[in-house]
Structure 1
Amino acid sequence: MKPLHFLFSFILLIGSVSVGHGQILFKQKATLMGSLFEITVVDSDTLSARKNVQAVISEITRIENLISEWKSDSEVSEVNRSAGIQPVRVSPELFDLTKRAIYYSEISEGAFDISIAAMDKIWLFDGSMTEMPTESAIRKSVEKVGYKNIVLDSIHSTIFLRYPGMKIGFGSIGKGYAADKGRELMKQTGVEGGIVNASGDIATWGLQPDKNPWTIGINNPFKPHKLIEVLKLKESAVATSGSYEKYAEIDGKKYAHIINPKSGYPSTGLTSVTIVGPSTEFANALSTSCMVLGKKAALKLVKKFPAYRGVFLTDKGRVRKAN
């Protein structure tokens, strides 16, 4: 999903360079975590820029090897294999990420849940689905889902999934976390500005070479040639969840590919949610939660966090904003 359209004041190709104010702007694409990443840095020269972009790529690869549920040797895979059997000692990084994920579940009253990785795949979002699954199949699909059954032991740094067949997965916040870590690494290295774009989950810092902020437009799928809003960003993050590219349409009703972990039913009512704030990871969690909660509850949730604001597009094409 690539829900955001970039409105740079320059045009860049893969590995291209733009010069201004004694600095160059370097941009490179890479496939990471199963998605297309685009890394942009403001740097002194091409050699330095390439080295810094490679450092970001290495950092994101490290994170993928840590949290991927698809890599058999990752810590997450070990946790999932041991579900219902025994706790697994994990690195402080994964422990803390899991602890934050549980917090996101709590503030959203279960609309966000990393244990949804265990849900049976009964919904198809490739256009082939023409009728609803049975109620019993939907209920059964989420039997192994429930963040309250993820047991953390902070003394021993262990994660235990209480029941066999449970799983955790970080598809909902992993790319946002990686974008944040890439930005953090570049700031520590001394890179003055740039963007880590993880397939639409975006972390920015600093300014462009011409000293202007980064400019990003939010697309309106109902009006492809119009933007909902243009964002001017320095150090910020943007994340969007949406149903307009992956959904099932049954009896004239659209069902998003984002599933309610409690009910097993796809979210309805909102076509997209864009969250802007300091952390891409938290913006990820909020956007996913808001899609599940629906407009009214989503507005209330975002208003609890003044550092973040939300732009909501309903299934009827109406725009609502929070904060």
Structure 2
Amino acid sequence: MTARAGRQSTARSLTRRRVAMDTIVSIETVPAKGEIDVDARIAGAFAWFTEVEARCSRFNPQSELSRLCDRPGVAVPVSPLLFRAIEFAIAVAADSGGAFDPTVGDAMARAGFSRNYQDGRANDTRSAAPSSFRDVCLNAAGCEVTLRRPLTLDLGAVAKGLAIDLAAQELSGIDGFLINAGGDIYAGGMNPDGHPWVIGVRDPREFDSLAARFSVSGAAVCTSGDYERASAVNPADHHILQPANGRAAAGFASVTVVAPTAMAADALATAAFVLGPREGIAFLEANGAEGLAITPTGERFETPGLKGYLE
């Protein structure tokens, strides 16, 4: 997603930026009241992006996720953070009937999405055999994950959202803040003018135009779009794959979701994108999220409750 604050504030705010998780992460905060150490809170928020990337990246062979994927058939103890990300991804996969599936890592690599943004090295696939979320066994009591067959987990649709949510918790004592990680956004409290944050969502075909503007406080706004990442194998294809066949999903050009957490908004947007017009909006409604979906020809689909967020 590409999104930005849709209204310029006339009051003072502080914005800081870092590169993490293959994107630019920015944190904007309103002037803090009381004795809150804003600098320390912001540093703690950025640290979560580093931590989540170290745990959940499939591109780094030394990440905790990569080490897990190197041990199929074994019950592997993992950190609570990685377990949380995998558990949530498997839950969304089951709820979407496999439209969302974190075991698409090898299919992603074969489609050309395999290079580490930090050093440019491509990661190898682990298997050409089909796999699904049902090949992942979770033991919550022992915080263990067992991969029943060789496969590569891809947590791209949940990990960045999780990092945003953890950063938001770090900033929770500040009256207003906006976390923007490459267009995936969490808006906390009010903007410097005392109003909800206004988020502009890019039109998926007219990049200089906005498809909508959302007024948001205490919620996340995330978009899955076919314009975000092109395949190195076939530039006409994008990175949102249909798990059933490994091909780029074609029903939507973009799906934007408003949800209480960024992890939910990001994963639900990806699932709805794959499900397409007939099922995607119903899926969002069933999961208590609001959404705007736009087809490649410009047709728009909205959940009934989205109007409560539209500017």
TM-score range, shorter chain: 0.7 to 0.9
The answer for the alignment partner of 1:321 in structure 2 is: 302
Describe the shift of the 1:59–1:222 C-alpha distance in structure 2 as closer, same or farther (beyond 3 A).
closer
**Residue-pair matches, total:** 291
Describe the shift of the 1:108–1:215 C-alpha distance in structure 2 as closer, same or farther (beyond 3 A).
same
Q: Which runs of 5+ in 2 are unaligned?
A: 114-126, 305-311
The answer for the alignment partner of 1:158 in structure 2 is: 144
Give, in angstroms, the shift of residue 192 of structure 1.
1.2
Q: Find the partner of 2:135 among 124, 144, 149.
A: 149
Q: Find the partner of 2:41 among 39, 47, 52.
A: 52
For residues 205 and 72 of structure 1, the distance between their equivalents in structure 2, rounded to whole angstroms, comes to 34
For residues 242 and 176 of structure 2, the distance between their equivalents in structure 1, rounded to whole angstroms, comes to 37
For residues 239 and 139 of structure 2, the distance between their equivalents in structure 1, rounded to whole angstroms, comes to 33
Give yes or no for contact 2:85–2:155 (8 Å, CA) kept in 1. Answer: no
Deviations 1:253-308 (A, max 9, x none): x64321111121210021000001111101111111111111111022112123x1
Q: Secondary structure at the match of 2:166?
A: helix
Give, in angstroms, the shift of residue 72 of structure 1.
3.5
Give, in angstroms, the shift of residue 211 of structure 1.
0.5
For residues 158 and 118 of structure 1, the distance between their equivalents in structure 2, rounded to whole angstroms, comes to 22
Deviations 1:183-215 (A, max 9, x none): 01111xx21110111111111111112201111
Question: Which protein is richer in strand relative to its size?
Answer: 1
Give yes or no for contact 2:32–2:174 (8 Å, CA) kept in 1. Answer: no
For residues 197 and 310 of structure 1, the distance between their equivalents in structure 2, rounded to whole angstroms, comes to 18
The answer for the alignment partner of 2:170 in structure 1 is: 185
Describe the shift of the 1:142–1:271 C-alpha distance in structure 2 as closer, same or farther (beyond 3 A).
farther
Q: Give the letter for the 2:220 counterpart.
A: A
For residues 247 and 58 of structure 2, the distance between their equivalents in structure 1, rounded to whole angstroms, comes to 23
For residues 78 and 123 of structure 1, the distance between their equivalents in structure 2, rounded to whole angstroms, comes to 22
Counterpart mapping for 1:168-207 below 5 A: 168-187=153-172, 190-207=173-190
The answer for the alignment partner of 1:77 in structure 2 is: 66
The answer for the alignment partner of 2:2 in structure 1 is: 3
For residues 149 and 320 of structure 1, the distance between their equivalents in structure 2, rounded to whole angstroms, comes to 34
For residues 191 and 108 of structure 2, the distance between their equivalents in structure 1, rounded to whole angstroms, comes to 45
Give, in angstroms, the shift of residue 225 of structure 1.
4.5
For residues 222 and 144 of structure 1, the distance between their equivalents in structure 2, rounded to whole angstroms, comes to 33
Give yes or no for contact 1:111–1:289 (8 Å, CA) kept in 2. Answer: yes
Q: Give the letter for the 1:317 counterpart.
A: G
**TM-score (norm. length: structure 2):** 0.85
For residues 221 and 71 of structure 1, the distance between their equivalents in structure 2, rounded to whole angstroms, comes to 30
For residues 168 and 287 of structure 2, the distance between their equivalents in structure 1, rounded to whole angstroms, comes to 22
Describe the shift of the 1:100–1:155 C-alpha distance in structure 2 as closer, same or farther (beyond 3 A).
same
Give yes or no for contact 2:204–2:225 (8 Å, CA) kept in 1. Answer: no
Q: Find the partner of 1:67 among 56, 60, 76.
A: 56
Q: Give the letter for the 1:316 counterpart.
A: T
For residues 158 and 266 of structure 2, the distance between their equivalents in structure 1, rounded to whole angstroms, comes to 5
Give yes or no for contact 1:114–1:168 (8 Å, CA) kept in 2. Answer: yes
The answer for the alignment partner of 2:260 in structure 1 is: 278
Q: Secondary structure at the match of 1:43?
A: coil
For residues 24 and 207 of structure 2, the distance between their equivalents in structure 1, rounded to whole angstroms, comes to 22
Give, in angstroms, the shift of residue 142 of structure 1.
6.1
Give, in angstroms, the shift of residue 120 of structure 1.
6.1
For residues 229 and 113 of structure 1, the distance between their equivalents in structure 2, rounded to whole angstroms, comes to 29
For residues 22 and 208 of structure 2, the distance between their equivalents in structure 1, rounded to whole angstroms, comes to 29
Q: Which runs of 5+ in 1 are unaligned?
A: 11-17, 126-140, 249-253
Instruction: Say if 2:273 is the partner of 1:291.
Output: yes
The answer for the alignment partner of 1:29 in structure 2 is: 17
Q: Give the letter for the 1:276 counterpart.
A: V
Give yes or no for contact 1:120–1:142 (8 Å, CA) kept in 2. Answer: no
| More moved, 31-40 vs 219-228 | 219-228
Describe the shift of the 1:159–1:303 C-alpha distance in structure 2 as closer, same or farther (beyond 3 A).
same
Give, in angstroms, the shift of residue 83 of structure 1.
1.4
- The 4+ residue runs of structure 1 with deviation greater than 4 A are none
The answer for the alignment partner of 1:134 in structure 2 is: none
For residues 274 and 238 of structure 2, the distance between their equivalents in structure 1, rounded to whole angstroms, comes to 9
Q: Secondary structure at the match of 2:180?
A: strand
Give, in angstroms, the shift of residue 62 of structure 1.
1.6
For residues 269 and 94 of structure 1, the distance between their equivalents in structure 2, rounded to whole angstroms, comes to 31
Instruction: Say if 2:211 is the partner of 1:228.
Output: yes
Describe the shift of the 1:58–1:4 C-alpha distance in structure 2 as closer, same or farther (beyond 3 A).
same
Instruction: Say if 2:31 is the partner of 1:43.
Output: yes
Deviations 1:118-141 (A, max 9, x none): 22644358xxxxxxxxxxxxxxx8
Instruction: Say if 2:223 is the partner of 1:240.
Output: yes
